[in-house]
Chain A
Amino acid sequence: MGVALTRSAQWSAAGYGTRTLEITPLNEAILKEIIVFVASFIYKHPQEAKYVFVEPLEWKTNLDPSAFESGYIVSETTVKSEEVDKDGQPLLSVSVPHIRVRSFGQLSRLLLTAKDMKLKEAQACIEANRDPVTKILGLDYNTMKEDTSVVNILDKITKDEDPESEIKMKLGMLLKQLDLHLLNHSLKHISLEIRLNPTIVKNDIELLKHFSGKGEQTVLESIDYTSDYEFSNGCRAPPWRQIHGEICYVLVKPHDVETLCITCSAEGVFLNGGKTDDEGEINYERKSEIYKDLVTFLKERSAKFSENMSKQDVRFSGEWKKKEALKEAPKKEEAAALQKALPASGKSVLEKNYINFGKSQMTKRLQPSLNWKATFDFKDKGASKDTQEEKHGRRLERSGPPVSPRRSQLVRKSAEKIEEIISESSSESEEDEEPPDHHQEANAGLPSEYWQIQKLVKYLKGGNQTATVIALCSMQDFNLAQETCQLAIRDVGGLEVLINLLDTDEVKCKIGSLKILKEISHNPQIRRNIVDLGGLPIMVNILDSPHKSLKCLAAETIANVAKFRRARRAVRRHGGITKLVALLDCAQNSGEPSQSSLYDARDVEVARCGALALWSCSKSYENKEAIRKAGGIPLLAGLLKTSHENMLIPVVGTLQECASEESYRTAIKAERIIENLVKNLNSENEQLQEHCAMAIYQCAEDKETRDLVRLHGGLKPLASLLNNTDNKERLAAVTGAIWKCSISKENVTKFREYKAIETLVGLLTDQPEEVLVNVVGALGECCQEYENRVLVRKCGGIQPLVNLLIGINQTLLVNVTKAVGACALEPESMMIIDRLDGVRLLWSLLKNPHPDVKASAAWALCPCIQNAKDAGEMVRSFVGGLELVVNLLRSDNKEVLASVCAAITNIAKDQENLAVITDHGVVPLLSKLANTNNDKLRRHLAEAISRCCMWGRNRAAFGEYKAVAPLVRYLKSNDTRVHQATAQALYQLSEDADNCITMHENGAVKLLLDMVGSPDQDLQEAAAGCIYNIRKLALATEKARYT
Chain B
Amino acid sequence: MNRKKLQKLTDTLTKNCKHLFRGFDKDNDGYVNVSEWIYGLSVFLRGTLEEKMKYCFEVFDLNGDGFISKEEMFHMLKNSLLKQPSEEDPDEGIKDLVEITLKKMDHDHDGKLSFTDYEQAVREETLLLEAFGPCLPDPKSHMEFEAQVFKDPNEFNDI
Complex Cα spacing A598 to B51, Å: 11
> Contacts A473-B128, A593-B153, A593-B154; is A466 near B139 (CB within 8 Å)?
no
Query: Whole-angstrom distance between the alpha carbons of A458 and B100 in the complex?
Result: 13
Residues on the B chain within 8 Å of A462, using CB:
81-82, 84, 93
In the A-B complex, list the 7 residue pairs whose CB atoms are closest, starting with the nearest. Answer: A467-B80, A462-B82, A464-B80, A466-B80, A474-B100, A466-B133, A463-B81
User: Does A505 sit at the interface, judged by CB under 8 A?
Assistant: yes
Contact status A470-B97, CB under 8 Å: yes
Cβ B131 vs Cβ A470 within 8 A: yes
A1043 lies within 8 A of chain B by Cβ? no
Question: What B residues does A595 contact at CB under 8 A?
Answer: 139, 142-143
A476–B125 CB distance below 8 A: yes
- Knowing A473-B125, A474-B100 touch, does A596 contact B81 (C-beta < 8 A)? no
- Whether B104 lies near A507 (C-beta < 8 A) is no
A712 within 8 A of B: no
6 examples of A-B residue contacts, CB within 8 angstroms: A462-B82, A469-B128, A473-B127, A474-B100, A593-B154, A597-B46
A512 surroundings in chain B (CB, below 8 A): 127
Q: Given that A459-B81, A469-B127, A473-B128 are contacting pairs, would A596 and B142 also be in contact in the complex, using a CB cutoff of 8 Å? A: yes
The answer, among B80, B101, B157, for a CB contact under 8 Å with A463, is: B80
Q: Are A466 and B77 in contact (CB under 8 A)?
A: yes
Distance A467 CA – B84 CA, assembled complex (angstroms):
15
Which residue on A lies nearest to B82, using beta carbons? A462
The residues of B that contact A474 with a CB separation of less than 8 Å are: 100-101, 103-104
Closest to A455 in B: B96
In chain A, residues 453-502, which have Cβ atoms closer than 8 Å to a Cβ of chain B? Answer: 455-456, 458-459, 462-467, 469-474, 476-477
Collect the chain A residues with CB atoms within 8 Å of residue B63's CB.
Answer: none
Chain A residues at the B interface, C-beta cutoff of 8 Å: 455-456, 458-459, 462-467, 469-474, 476-477, 505-508, 511-512, 547, 591, 593-599
Complex: how many Å from CA A871 to CA B46? 88
A sample of 19 more A-B contacts (CB under 8 A), given A456-B100, A466-B76, is: A458-B93, A459-B81, A459-B97, A462-B81, A464-B81, A466-B77, A467-B81, A470-B128, A473-B128, A473-B131, A474-B101, A474-B104, A476-B125, A505-B140, A511-B127, A593-B154, A595-B143, A596-B47, A598-B129
A535 → B minimal CB distance (Å): 20
* Complex interface: chain B residues within 8 A of A463 (CB): 80-82, 97
Contacts of B125 in A (CB 8 A): 473, 476
Q: Does residue B95 face the partner (Cβ distance < 8 Å to A)?
A: no
Which chain B residues lie closer than 8 Å to A470 at the CB level?
77, 97, 100-101, 104, 128, 131
| Bound CA span A455–B97, Å | 10
> Is B116 in the interface zone, CB < 8 Å from A?
no
Interface membership of B25, Cβ < 8 A: no
Tell me the complex Cα distance, A505–B138, Å.
Answer: 10
Query: Chain B: which residue is nearest A600 at the CB level?
Result: B49
Q: Please, which residues of chain A bring their CB within 8 A of the CB of B133? A: 466
Q: A595-B139, A595-B142 are in contact. Are A467 and B103 (CB under 8 A)?
A: no
Flag if A507 contacts B81 (CB, 8 Å).
Answer: no
B118 part of interface (Cβ distance < 8 Å): no
A477 to B104, Cβ gap below 8 A?
yes
Chain A residues whose C-beta falls within 8 Å of the C-beta of B49 in the assembled complex: 597-598
Q: Please measure, in the bound complex, the distance between the C-alpha atom of A974 and the C-alpha atom of B3, giving whole angstroms.
A: 91
Closest approach, in angstroms, between the C-beta of B87 and any C-beta of chain A? 10
Residues of B within 8 A of A597 (CB): 46-49
How many A-B residue pairs lie within 8 Å, measured between CB atoms?
88
Distance (Å) between the CB of A861 and the closest chain B CB? 68
B130 within 8 A of A: yes
Is A507 within 8 A of B131, CB to CB?
Answer: no
| B104 in contact with A473 (CB, 8 Å) | yes
A861 to B65, CA, bound (A): 92
Could you say which residues of chain B place their CB within 8 Å of the CB of A477?
104
A1015 to B: closest C-beta gap in Å: 74
Answer yes or no: B79 CB below 8 A from chain A CBs.
yes
Convert B35-76 into 0s and 1s, putting 1 for each residue whose CB lies closer than 8 angstroms to a CB of A.
000000000011111001000000000000000000000001
Is the beta-carbon distance between A467 and B96 smaller than 8 angstroms? no
User: How many Å from the CB of A212 to the closest CB on chain B?
Assistant: 83
Known contacts A469-B130, A547-B139, A593 near B157 by CB under 8 Å = yes
Which residues of chain B in 91-142 are interfacial with respect to chain A, using CB atoms and an 8 Å cutoff? Answer: 93, 96-97, 100-101, 103-104, 125-134, 138-140, 142
Query: Which residue in B80, B96, B127, B130 is a CB contact (below 8 Å) of A472?
Result: B127
B81 → chain A, closest Cβ, in Å? 5
- The CA-CA distance from A473 to B126 in the complex, in Å, is 10
Q: Inside 8 A of B100's CB, which chain A residues have their CB?
A: 456, 470-471, 474
Residues of B near A473 (CB, < 8 A) are 104, 125, 127-128, 131
A599 CA to B138 CA in the complex, in Å? 12
Q: How far is the CB of A455 from chain B (nearest CB, A)?
A: 7
Give the interface centre of A547, A594, A596 by most chain B CB atoms within 10 Å: A596
How far does the Cβ of B149 sit from chain A's closest Cβ, in whole Å?
15
Q: How far apart are B130's CB and chain A's nearest CB, in angstroms?
A: 7
**Which residues does chain A contribute within 8 Å of B77, judged by CB atoms?**
466-467, 470
Q: How far is the CA of A599 from the CA of B129 in the complex (A)?
A: 12
Q: Which residues of A contact B93 (CB under 8 A)?
A: 458-459, 462
Given A466-B77, A477-B104, A594 contacting B157 (CB threshold 8 A): yes
User: Which residues of chain B have C-beta atoms less than 8 A from A458's C-beta?
Assistant: 93
Name the distance in Å between B152's Cβ and chain A's nearest Cβ: 10
In Å, the complex CA distance between A888 and B135 comes to 82
Which chain A residues lie closer than 8 Å to B131 at the CB level?
Answer: 466, 469-470, 473
What is the bound-complex CA distance between A507 and B143, given in angstroms?
Answer: 13
Nearest CB on B from A211, distance (A): 80
Q: How far is the CA of A469 from the CA of B121 in the complex (A)?
A: 13
Q: How far is the CB of B15 from chain A (nearest CB, A)?
A: 13
Whether A508 and B130, one on each chain, are in contact in the complex, defined by CB atoms closer than 8 angstroms, is yes
Taking CB atoms, residues of chain B closer than 8 Å to A598 are 49, 52, 126, 129
Residues of A within 8 A of B157 (CB): 593-594
Question: Which residues on the A side are within 8 Å of B45 (C-beta)?
Answer: 596
Q: Residues of B contacting A455 with CB < 8 Å?
A: 96
CB-contacts of B5-43 with A (<8 A): none
Query: Within the assembled complex, what's the spacing in Å between the Cα atoms of A467 and B128?
Result: 11
Contact between A467 and B130 (Cβ–Cβ < 8 Å)?
no
